[in-house]
Structure 1
Amino acid sequence: MHLRHKLGISDFTIYSNRKLSHNYVVIHPSNAFPKGAIVDSWTGQGVVELDFKTRLKFKHREENYAVNANMHEWIERYGQAHVID
């Protein structure tokens, strides 16, 4: 929610990873993150560049994950009201 409603980053995808049994956010490549980045607050990893090593660590492969459309919709619809300054 903070990425979208506080930092103004809208070019990201929320993934549900079956191999890791949790969700994380991938910020698509940009000036700030040329290779993209994974944001994973659940494991305490924080923001990590989406390089080859990170892809392996997160088992970030198409057969392991799915886009979590429900979370995207919820953030757009209700997220603003739940962001704490």
Structure 2
Amino acid sequence: MHLRHKLGISDFTIYSNRKLSHNYVVIHPTNEFPKGAIVDSWTGQGVVELDFKTRLKFKHREENYSVNANMHEWIERYGQAHVID
């Protein structure tokens, strides 16, 4: 929610990873993150560049994840009201 409604970052995808049994956010490549980045607050990793090592660590492969459309919809519809400064 903070990425979208506080920082104004909208070019990201929320993934549900079956191998890790949790969700994380991937920020698509930008000037700040040329390879993209994974945002994973659940494990305390924070923001990590989406390089080869990180892809392996997160088992970030197409057969392991799916886009979590429900979370994207919820953030767009209700997220603004739940962002705390």
Q: What range describes the TM-score normalised by the shorter chain of this pair?
A: over 0.9
What is the CA-CA distance between 1:40 and the residue it aligns to? Answer: 0.1
SS in 1 for 2:34: coil
Aligned partners of 2:62, 2:35: CA distance in 1, in Å? Answer: 17
SS in 1 for 2:63: helix
Pairs aligned (count): 85
What is the CA-CA distance between 1:2 and the residue it aligns to? Answer: 0.1
- Matched-pair identity in %: 96
Q: Which ranges of structure 2 fall in alignment gaps of 5 or more residues? A: none
What is the CA-CA distance between 1:32 and the residue it aligns to? Answer: 1.0
Aligned partners of 2:33, 2:68: CA distance in 1, in Å? Answer: 22
C-alpha distance after superposition, 1:28-82 (max 9, x if no partner): 0001110000000000000000000000000000000000000000000000000
Aligned partners of 2:37, 2:61: CA distance in 1, in Å? Answer: 14
SS in 1 for 2:24: strand
SS in 2 for 1:56: helix
Aligned partners of 1:3, 1:14: CA distance in 2, in Å? Answer: 11
Aligned partners of 1:31, 1:49: CA distance in 2, in Å? Answer: 12
What is the CA-CA distance between 1:27 and the residue it aligns to? Answer: 0.1
What is the CA-CA distance between 1:3 and the residue it aligns to? Answer: 0.1
Aligned partners of 1:17, 1:72: CA distance in 2, in Å? Answer: 15
Q: TM-score with structure 2 length normalisation? A: 1.00
Q: Which ranges of structure 1 fall in alignment gaps of 5 or more residues? A: none
